[in-house]
Each structure stands twice: as structure tokens, then as C-alpha cells.
Amino acid sequence: MTIRLSSCVLAAVMGTLAMSAHAQSSTPPLAHKVLVIGHRGASALRPEHTLASYAKAIEDGADFIEPDLVSTKDGALVARHENEIGGTTDVASHPEFAARRATKTIDGVSVTGWFTEDFTLDELKTLRARERLPEIRKENARYDGQFQLVTFDEIIDFVAAESAARGRVVGIIPEIKHSTYFIGLGLPMEDKVLATIDAHTYTRTAPVEIQSFEVGNLRYLRGKLGKSHPNVTLLQLIEAPASHPADEPGLTYATMMSPAGLKTVATYADAIGPATRSIIPLNADGSLGKPTALVRDAHAAGLLVHPYTFRPENHFLAKDFRSTAGDAARNDAGSIAEIRAYLAAGIDAFFTDDPALGRKALDR
């Protein structure tokens, strides 16, 4: 008798087998509870950094929602993945702003487009959000033009209302983007972030974790926080090993991820946020390899590990978790299986574009 499995069933079976193989080197998390972080909200299902995206993340069980923060010309903190907004808003369709298209050097990289620091908050409020990855997330593109850009204050008020309505606390994990660049423009964000947190009753007690790829601003924040904000923690984000923080060109992220480097990070931060592949790299064929020592070494230094980012489309999955449905196709079973492989490596929280799948991976 011949047994034939559908491609979906086969993908689920293969994903389970792959997850089991990686789980053989299981490491317990340092945290008492592994947390689901809604990466830019539920950005696999709604345009990122909109109240709709944050609402969907909270509805789907996220423990934290993540706003990336950049500055406007008049110093307001708004949620955008980058200060260049040509790809995430409809600014290009506004003829009144055509002359503001420019080329700038951001953290050593030449970028052309429209930049938040060239607009007042009132001007940005005339724009509407667009899907950043329309070729992969075509369903999200149907929301283009519907949602405003939102401020950090508005996000906190929204999360506070959602928390009250749902009877559970939802944390906020803001990322300060391009700190040194904005300081150079006379638009530093660190004190404004702390002032905003202090100005809201909700964020005086709810969990808040401030994150950055830079080092100096986290050290500064550690000094400012002291013991006066027990609900606020700091997360050192980590990019590709060979690259370096914008404010410390002599320090590579590879050095930061060494045992000695992690001990240094622990003097000013509470957690690290590495890319997922720094924890379990890919093999040459694109399949998931064996866990590195990063989680174990970070835990030994007293640091929690919050990797980024799990995404549900085949395009982003390791080869052994993909289905045959196409590069842009959603693959829920594969995404859940991949997350579970990383859970077995001992992570303490994780960023995901689809918190519902993260919740399923955790709640077995």
C-alpha cells in the first residue's frame, strides 16, 4: 500500500522532525516566562507601526508591542521603522512635499527619500501609512492609505486603553533609531523618551524595555534611570557580527557577543537582541544548523536573550521549514516549528511579525 501525504501535511511533519532534531541541545531560558513581542505590531497582518497593527498584536496575545521611534522637525517622537518614509507612507504622492526629497548619509549609508526630520508633526499627520513589503504581503497592501502615523504618546494611550479593556498588562518596547544621527541634528530622543514614559500613568508601572543598536545612549539611559524606574529595562540590539554600532566604529558586534563582550554589555543593559541566525545559524544549504553558545554565554553574564525576527512567509524561513506553496506564501506550521527550535535553544522572549503564531508556538 502506498501512502501519499499532502504538501501541507508533509511540511508540518518535516518541520516537527527538524524542530525535534534542533531541540536535542535544549537550554532552559533565564526568564520565568518566555514573552511574545509584536514586532512593529502584527506587521505580517497589518501595515507596520499603525494602531491597527498594534491592536491586532494585542488581540493575538502579544505580551509587548514594539514602536520604532524617530524624530520630527519639531521634536515629536513618531513610530516609523526608519526616518526615511518613502517606502512606508504615501509621501511620494503629495506634490506639496516633492521638493523635500533628498539624499542623506544615515549611519554611514547613503539614503535617498523623504525624512521625518524634515517634516513637522502636523505635516506628517497628513500622510497615510503604506505596506513596506507589498510584494510579499499583498494582503496588507489593501490597507494602504487608511492609517495615520502615530506618536509615542498616542501609542501609550492606546495600549493603556487596550490593557484596561482586556484585563491584562501589555508591555511596550520602544526602539530609539539612529540616536547619534539625531543628536547631530539637535534632535536627541533619549530624554524625550524618558519624559514621555514619566508623563503617562500607564508607563510609570507597566513593563517598558528601551532598545537600541547603539551603545552610548543605553549607557546614558542606565545612568538616568538608576533605581527610580524599576519597570524600565534596557535591551542592547545586535546586528551582523562584522558590523558595528554607529557610535562605536571600533567595536564589532562579534566582540559584543563574545563572553567578555557580554559581561561588558551586562554593566548597562538587561538583555540582548541578536538576529535569530546568531543563535542558530543556517547551514550552507539554507537549512537550520546547530545552536551557537550565544544564549548560554549571555545567560552566564546575567543577560536575557530576545532575538529578532520570526516571520511567517516561506521567504524568511530556514529551508527545512518551508512549504512548496511559493516564496511569498504564509506557512503557519513552518513558522511555529522554527520558533520552537529557538525556544529549545533557551531564548527568553522573541520578536515576531505574527504574535498569534508566536503564542501557538509557546502554548502547546
Q: Map grid coordinates 514619566 to a residue.
A: 198
Residue 1, pLDDT above cutoff 90: no
**Domain ranges in the chain?**
7-70+148-362
Average pLDDT over residues 23-40: 87
Q: What is the pLDDT of residues 99-117, one digit of tens each?
A: 999 999 999 999 999 999 9
CA dihedral 19, 23, 24, 28 (to 10 degrees): 180
Return mean pLDDT, the chain.
94
Residue 17, pLDDT above cutoff 70: no
Burial of residue 66 (CB within 10 Å: 0-12, 13-18, 19+) is: buried
Residue 109 half-sphere exposure, CB side, CA atoms within 13 Å?
10
Which residues make Cβ contacts (< 8 Å) with residue 162, sequence separation at least 6? 55, 58, 170
In this prediction, residue 83 has a pLDDT band, given cuts at 50, 70 and 90, of: very high
Strands (E), 68-206: 68-71, 77-79, 102-106, 109-113, 171-172, 175-176
What are the two backbone dihedrals, phi and then psi, of residue 137, each rounded to the nearest 5 degrees? -115, 70
Residue 350 is predicted with a pLDDT of: 98
Q: Map residue 91 onto helix, strand or coil.
A: helix
Residue 9, pLDDT above cutoff 80: no
Calculate what percentage of the chain has a pLDDT beyond 70: 93
Q: What angle is formed at CA 82 by the lines to CA 37 and CA 347, rounded to 5 degrees?
A: 25
Between residues 309 and 23, the one the model is more confident about: 309
Q: What is the pLDDT of residues 298-352, one digit of tens each?
A: 999 999 999 999 999 999 999 999 999 999 999 999 999 999 999 999 999 999 9
d(CA 360, CA 292): 25
Task: Dump the DSSP string for 150-167.
Answer: -BHHHHHHHHHHHHHHHT
Average pLDDT over residues 229-238: 97
Q: Return the CATH fold of 7-70+148-362.
A: TIM Barrel (3.20.20)
Average pLDDT over residues 69-95: 98
